[in-house]
Structure 1
Amino acid sequence: MADRSTMSEQDKHLMEKEICPDSETADCVEEAFVFGEDLELNRFDGLPFSSRYYKLLQERQSLPVWKAREEFLDILVNNRLVIVSGTTKTGKSTQIPQWCAEFCLSAQYQHGVAVSTQIHSQQAVDLALRVADEMDVNIGHEVGYTIPLETCCSTDTVLRFCTDALLLREMMSDPMLEHYGAIVIDQAHERTVSTDILLGLLQDILVHRPDLRVVILTVSSMTDRLLAHYGSNVPVVSLEALCPAEVVYSNCSSKDYFYSALRLVLEIHRTKEEGDVVLFLASPQEVVCSRAILQREGTRLGAELGELVPVVLCPGQGRTPSRLGEGMGSRGTVTTRCRLVFLSTSQGEDMFWAVDSVNFVIDVGLEKRHVYHPRIRANSEVLRSISRYQADIRKQLTGPTGKCFCLYPEERVLPIETSPQILDTNLTFTILFLKRMEIAGLRHCDFITRPDPEGLMQSLEELDYLAALDDVGNLSEIGIIISELPLDAQMAKALLASCEFDCVNEVVTIAAMLSAPSCFLEPPDGRTQEVQQCHRKFRHPEGDHFTLINIYNAFKYSQRETCPQEHCEKWCQDYHLNHRALQTADAIRSELTDILKRIELPISETSFGTKTNTLNIKRALLAGFFMQIARDVDGSGNYFMLTNRHLAQVHPASSYGAKAHQLGFPEWVLFHEYTLSGNHGIRTVSEISPAVFIQTAPQYFYSNLPPSESKDLLQHILDRDGSGRKDKQQTLTINSKADKDLTSGGELQHCTDFY
């Protein structure tokens, strides 16, 4: 924290104005903490304010949101729900949470402290750091943050930043969020699943908690939808809009937008005009590719133009606003010019709240979204137009003196708002969570946009097959345990089954590796064979799930044998593995192990490599992924998936995809994911025995498989040796319900509970 120093009379007056409204200044002077005759104390930590506090206070007072401060505080006192609309760089994400913390302090935290949600982890961290600086307190004490696998808070924390998903998970132990007196839902316009669920449940929570205050931060185009949902009497604080930049439209073909955007970056650099550039692309893959191209082309430009530095600044990867100064080389010198090119994607608009150097924005007007297809249980990547509000935010990032180049015609009709993720995603987690909330007394979630009925039915069916629901559609004991695990329902069921099959150590490793980002680095140009040769050393004959265990075990061995972290990173580089991804997997594994211990589930000693252990791992995986089984129908890698009767091939990155020429494809496999992008591939594939599949899969699932030659083969095995008859105790403990036929009427009854 900065050094404390004495204030001038003008600074003291600013301090009084900041703590109290004008009408209350005289009364508040007597209540203010005073140290001696000169220093005024911070109400949050009791220490004198530093000189930096007053410097930042002047910056805060220049923000557009500051003009609405008194209006907002008055509304907050008299209303339980407030909507604040404004774009990026108005200051709402940094100032509104502070004012909510002041509101909680005014009540001596009798009703709880303040929390602000973000949709991305790094934004939560960056905002917490900035706000702690502005409030003149220490990060981790009065202001903190909580993101997946990392908590920086204490018992003194009065303002916490966290992801929307983590606040949802917190509701499992605190359904009414009684720890909080003010909740700020930021970036509501991004329409993530977690934010939409929070917006739906908070309406019910406010009925039970009249002392709670909820503030929704969004953009103006989302305000009307929120008012239609919550009621037209909800107060709205509209922030003054920033002046947009000069906008230049283009008739660029949608097929050529990528290279047209890169050419435009280089043309801007050749003009020698001052200012950094923001380039919005459609996907993270395009960001990685464009960074490599700009680095290469930038070195070919003349030295007199200055250095061209591409910087990845998009959700989930790359530098962040608080760290932009790191590694920028000669940017800080006077003699050498340096132009930053920020490469971002959809949902990256809100990451530029701390960047003031941008003078050019290039917007391709497209985004790639992952869409889940419930009927065939597959993911795909869809290229679509951005929303109008995204386009408007991008135009305002430079201010009135900059330029925004839109690589699409002005007459293109953009959708008003972003498509809610709840329409494009697998709803199994959503249903599992809402069923858990029903147990806690929150029996209704009033969705702003109702989920797709087909998606709801498919997810209810999946939970029923996994024995997570009882006969009347409520969570079973197994369902409650599954909801405790931060995994998708199928993987959680597999981990639960591993406790019975005595292979927890191995399955928890598989779960962690599949939950973390991919540990495999993309091969550089011309080195594909070398990279494949390195990865081949970890391959396991039983399949990709076992290969992941090999990689994790080798990583942990490297950590033990090479104490300095740099040596472990070097080991990962040598084998073309992602060190950060493996560290994340290690942290996830520790978290999962702690949860298993907390709920008192047995954790076995590892016996990886034995035949018994291999069989048990496959049994545990089949307990969760029996719905994802495929058979090679012609011996050439064309896999027929039993549940949807589609054909797919093994992804080239799979162990089987690489060694098929020599050893051939296994006939029956279990796969983790099916995607319609690229070659319609099934990913993370391991060989299984059809007899073991029959033994493990619930009979009521097997009987509902659509007719096919593959099902006839399974029936032949079942009739021949009776291997489909499961042990009675196993049926009771793993599936926890009697075999039954599902009827469409039952599914629809469960589905109507969510409307």
Structure 2
Amino acid sequence: MPISHYTGLPHSTRYHELLRRRLGLPVWEYKNDFMRLLNTHQCVVLVGETGSGKTTQIPQWSVEFAAVTAGKSKGVACTQPRRVAAMSVAQRVAEEMDVALGQQVGYSIRFEDCSGPQTVLKYMTDGMLLREAMSDPMLEQYRVILLDEAHERTLATDILMGVLKEVIKQRPDLKLVIMSATLDAGKFQQYFDNAPLMNVPGRTHPVEIFYTPQPERDYLEAAIRTVVQIHLCEEIAGDILLFLTGQEEIEDACKRIKREIDNLGPDAGELKCIPLYSTLPPNLQQRIFEPAPPNRANGAIGRKVVVSTNIAETSLTIDGVVFVIDPGFAKQKVYNPRIRVESLLVSPISKASAQQRAGRAGRTKPGKCFRLYTEKAYKNEMQENTYPEILRFSLKRTSTEFTSKDYYINIRKALVNGFFMQLKIGFSLKRTSTEFTSKDYYINIRKALVNGFFMQVAHLERTGHYLTVKDNQIVQLHPSTCLDHKPDWVLYNEFVLTTKNYIRTTIGRPYPDSEGTVAVPEVSPGASLCHTHERWPDTSLVQFVANFADSHHRAGFRAFNFLQKDLIV
């Protein structure tokens, strides 16, 4: 009986079942070609259509390559733009390799690392690999790095491509594979010095596409109506995939679809409605792989409908989907430099995204795609590809997190100019902090917060809304705020635009205290407040600083207890 060289145990029945499926994947025919390219080139660009098997098979072949060329000393990393994909694909590949998840195959996402010393293949979000590069610039623990879904052009993936281009110049032993689901791979080839291109066709069946004759006034209502009509009128068995823009919209659609089907009575087939979005708990995300309900005794077809954001475009493959409903919209994060705010806006998708969505209908049999927009809009109004995130995002936070190594402290230069001695003296000083029991403890924390966020302040107007000091923007407290009242002044961390202008992560000045005042802390040495609102002179803002810092501690500040030993005030 065959023995697993990972565990030393006989292969399970499940392994042999999955192996038969793997051998039928389109990508399997190209294994020898891929291994040859990986052996002879440092960088390979691979274009694989949706459902070809590239996300699950290419990393496993890379593990085989790493085992032969580097032994057990170096592993393989495969990035995904979404944590949902990283977790689900890692689980699937662990089953295919007949190992326990977290052992030879693992995943790493924000706040969760399911891997160990034995891990040879790690799926992770692109942001997590960037984090690893900060502590290990040469990524020495990896023999092969794969950037999957590169066509989505997320900010982290684009930065990774820039980082890895420099790393492979200094590490000839490192192999890099760029994987994309679209045919627009020429840019990737050109960027990586004309790297070889490998095309893998997908296993798709014909997909019939339908357009609406006129634009829909309410795409959500039209989408729900289309789901019900498909379920009742289509005689072909098959599941439905509906694309919507976000959690709130998806939850609302699921409730309305369920209500519509329940009102039809027992004559209609059972319809299981399953939501899918990034913040859904992992155990609930796995429901999308559950089978559809059985047909009723009267012959009515049972189906499931997956109502998903655009994460189901390429990151996840759901077998059994025959009907796709595409309203033509998705949420995109956009930065407005005029008011310096990031917002999630519902925007039209690109032609490339529309093609990816339609391709989901032809995975197992001929399918149908219902586009809730006109053919003219598709041809003339949609852009070819989605704008890369790096062109839509604010790079302020990214530039501070991932500073170029040229700006790190150079110890030799510091020794020459004496700066190192100043650092040494500074580090040798005793670090002090106010005692936790002192009444000044939380006051000093507030001083520190105001010193850092003095320009992120808003004042309560008589109308009940807030006005930001810096840009005179009308804002409201985010519904998730923990404040139980509306303070006259608030300090905020984020300014976001959704349905309204919201300030999030807010700290309010509590009600005035009767025990006196404390000294006004420095707002920011040398900072100019000339852009504050004309009705609020600098003295008003400074007075806010004093009042804010003077208030006694409240229960809401107990989250800052970890600063007790580290905060220098």
Q: CA deviation at 1:92?
A: 0.5
User: For residue 348 of structure 1, what is the aligned residue in structure 2?
Assistant: 312
Query: Secondary structure, in 3 states, of the residue corresponding to 2:521?
Result: helix
C-alpha RMSD over aligned residues: 3.4
In the alignment, does 2:218 pair up with 1:390?
no
Matches within 5 A, 1:42-121: 42-109=4-71, 112-121=74-83
Superposition deviation, residue 438 in structure 1 = 4.0
Task: Name the amino acid aligned to 1:234.
Answer: A
Q: 2:472 aligns with which of 620, 642, 645?
A: 645
Quote how far apart the aligned CAs of 1:697 are: 2.4
| 2:195 corresponds to | 234
| 1:379-401 per-position Cα deviation (integer Å, ceiling 9, x unaligned) | 22322211222111111112151
For residue 117 of structure 1, report the CA deviation from its aligned partner: 0.9
User: Which of 198, 209, 214 is 2:171 aligned to?
Assistant: 209
State the distance in 1 between where 2:308 and 2:479 align.
28
1:440 is displaced (CA, Å) by: 7.2
Q: Does 1:128 align with 2:79?
A: no
Q: 2:504 matched to which residue of 1?
A: 683
Give the C-alpha shift of residue 145 in structure 1.
Answer: 1.4
CA distance in 2, matches of 1:227, 1:68: 19
Task: Kindly indicate whether the alpha-carbon contact (under 8 Å) linking 2:288 and 2:306 is maintained by their aligned counterparts in 1.
Answer: no
2:119 and 2:518 mapped to 1: Cα distance?
52
Moved more, 92-101 or 305-314: 305-314
Q: CA deviation at 1:115?
A: 1.0
> Would you say 1:428 and 2:396 are equivalent positions?
yes
Distance, in Å, in 1 between the alignment partners of 2:397 and 2:452 is 15
* Equivalent residue in structure 1 for 2:241, among 244, 269, 278: 278
Structure 1 gaps of 5+ residues are 1-5, 7-39, 443-475, 478-498, 503-603, 660-664, 724-732, 737-755
For each residue in 1:66-117, what CA deviation from the matched residue of structure 2 results, as whole angstroms up to 9, or x when unmatched?
Answer: 1221111110000111111122211100000001000001114376211111
Q: Secondary structure at the match of 1:172?
A: helix
TM-score by length of 2: 0.82
Taking the TM superposition and a 5 Å limit, the aligned residue runs for 1:2-81 are 6=1, 40-81=2-43
Determine the structure 2 residue equivalent to 1:410: 375
Q: Quick one: which amino acid aligns to residue 127 of structure 2?
A: A
How far apart, CA to CA, are the structure 2 residues paired with 1:370 and 1:654?
22
Distance (whole Å) between structure 2 residues aligned to residue 146 and residue 110 of structure 1 = 20
Report the CA distance shift for 1:257/1:711 in structure 2 as closer, same or farther (over 3 A): same
Task: State the alpha-carbon separation in 1 of the partners of residues 285 and 273 from structure 2.
Answer: 14
Deviations 1:365-415 (A, max 9, x none): 111212222342222232221122211111111215110001111222322
Residue in structure 1 matched with residue 540 of structure 2 by the alignment: 714
The alignment status of 1:193 with 2:175, answered yes or no, reads no
Per-residue deviation, residues 31-85 of structure 1 (Å, max 9, x unmatched): xxxxxxxxx4333334333343332222111111112211111100001111111
Could you list the per-position Cα deviations for residues 641-670 of structure 1 after superposition, in whole angstroms to 9, with x for gaps in the alignment?
A: 2222333344466567x75xxxxx533221
Q: Distance in 2 between matches of 1:636 and 1:166?
A: 44
Bigger shift: 289-298 or 179-188?
289-298
- Paired position in structure 2 for 1:492: none
Q: State the one-letter code of the partner of 2:313.
A: E
The one-letter code sitting in structure 1 at the alignment partner of 2:371 is C
Q: Quote the offset at 1:343 in angstroms.
A: 0.6
Alignment of 1:700 with 2:521, yes or no, is no
- Identity, % of aligned pairs? 34
Decide whether the 8 Å contact of 2:46 with 2:178 is kept in 1.
yes
- Give the CA deviation at 1:244: 4.3
* Cα distance in structure 2, aligned partners of 1:110 and 1:286: 47
Q: Which moved more, 1:634-643 or 1:97-106?
A: 634-643
Counterpart contact for 1:310–1:343, Cα < 8 Å: yes
Q: Which moved more, 1:83-92 or 1:644-653?
A: 644-653
Deviation digits for residues 146-183 of structure 1 (CA, Å, limit 9, x no counterpart): 22222222221111111111111111221100100000
Q: Any conservation in 2 of the 1:175–1:437 contact (CA below 8 Å)?
A: no
Please give the alpha-carbon distance, in whole angstroms, between the structure 2 residues aligned to 1:313 and 1:370: 19
Matched-pair contact (CA < 8 Å) for 2:270–2:295? no
Give the letter aligned to residue 432 of structure 1: T
Secondary structure at the counterpart of residue 637 of structure 1: coil
CA deviations 1:649-701 (Å, max 9, x no partner) are 44466567x75xxxxx5332212322333332333433339998962421223
Corresponding position of 1:542: none
- The one of 133, 140, 152 equivalent to 1:178 is 140
C-alpha distance in structure 2 between counterparts of 1:109 and 1:296, whole Å: 57
Indicate the residue corresponding to 1:366 in structure 2.
329
| Residues 158 and 651 of structure 1: CA distance in aligned 2, closer, same or farther (over 3 Å) | closer
User: 1:470 aligns to what?
Assistant: none
Distance 2:79 2:113 in 1: 14
Quote the residue 2:455 is aligned against.
627
Q: Which residue of 2 aligns with 1:537?
A: none
1:479-517 residue CA offsets vs partner (Å, 9 max, x unmatched): xxxxxxxxxxxxxxxxxxxx9765xxxxxxxxxxxxxxx
Name 1:157's counterpart in structure 2: 119
Does the CA contact (< 8 Å) of 1:219 and 1:389 recur in 2?
no
User: For the structure 1 residues 501 and 256, does the alpha-carbon distance in structure 2 shift closer, same or farther, using more than 3 Å as the test?
Assistant: farther
Cα distance 1:207–1:259, how it changes in 2: closer, same or farther (>3 A)?
same
Counterpart of 1:701 in 2: which secondary structure? coil
Alpha-carbon distance in 2 for matches of 1:372, 1:692? 39
Contact 2:151 2:182 in 1 (8 A): no
Letter aligned with residue 391 of structure 1: A
Q: Which letter does structure 1 place at the counterpart of 2:527?
A: F
Alpha-carbon distance in 2 for matches of 1:128, 1:653: 33
CA distance in 2, matches of 1:70, 1:693: 73
2:503 is aligned with what amino acid?
Answer: I
Q: How many residues are paired up?
A: 520
The one-letter code of the counterpart of 1:401 is P
Which residue identity does 2:523 align to in structure 1? Answer: A
Q: 2-side partners of 1:341 and 1:650: how far apart? A: 36
Structure 2 counterpart of 1:265: 227
Q: Is the 8 A contact 2:76 2:142 kept in 1?
A: yes
- How far residue 339 of structure 1 moved from its aligned partner, in angstroms, is 1.4
Task: Classify 1:501/1:376 alpha carbon distance in 2 versus 1 (closer, same or farther; 3 Å).
Answer: farther
Structure 1 residues 218 and 88: alpha-carbon distance in aligned structure 2, compared to 1, 3 A threshold: same
The alignment partner of 1:340 has SS state of: strand
1:305-347 per-position Cα deviation (integer Å, ceiling 9, x unaligned) = 2212210123332666744456x7x926885853111011123
Shift, 1:713, TM fit? 3.6
Counterpart in the other structure of 2:414 = none
Residues in 1 aligned to 2:448 and 2:76: alpha-carbon distance in whole angstroms: 42
Question: TM-score w.r.t. structure 1 length?
Answer: 0.63
Deviation at 1:735, TM superposition (A): 10
Gap change, CA 1:102 and 1:302, over 3 Å in 2: same
Higher helix proportion: 1
- Counterpart Cα distance in 2 of 1:42 and 1:682: 55
Aligned partners of 1:221 and 1:417 also within 8 Å = no
Change (3 A) 1:500 1:382: farther
- Give the partner amino acid of 1:87: E
| Superposition map of 1:611-622 within 5 A | 612-622=440-450
Shift of 1:271: 1.4
Tell me, yes or no, if the aligned pair for 2:46 and 2:180 is still in contact at 8 Å.
yes
Do 2:270 and 2:303's aligned partners in 1 also have CA atoms closer than 8 Å? yes
Distance in 1 (CA, whole Å) between partners of 2:567 and 2:46 is 49
Distance 1:206 1:312, change over 3 A: same
CA deviations 1:520-567 (Å, max 9, x no partner) are xxxxxxxxxxxxxxxxxxxxxxxxxxxxxxxxxxxxxxxxxxxxxxxx
Alignment partner of 1:302 is 2:128: no
Which consecutive residues of structure 2, in runs of 5 or more, have no partner in the other structure? 411-421, 424-430, 550-565
CA contact (8 A) 1:306 1:338 kept: yes
Contact 1:73–1:99, Cα closer than 8 Å, also in 2: yes
2: CA distance, partners of 1:208 / 1:214: 13
Paired letter, 2:247: P
Residue 377 (structure 1) aligns with: 340
Q: Residue type matched to 2:200 in 1?
A: L
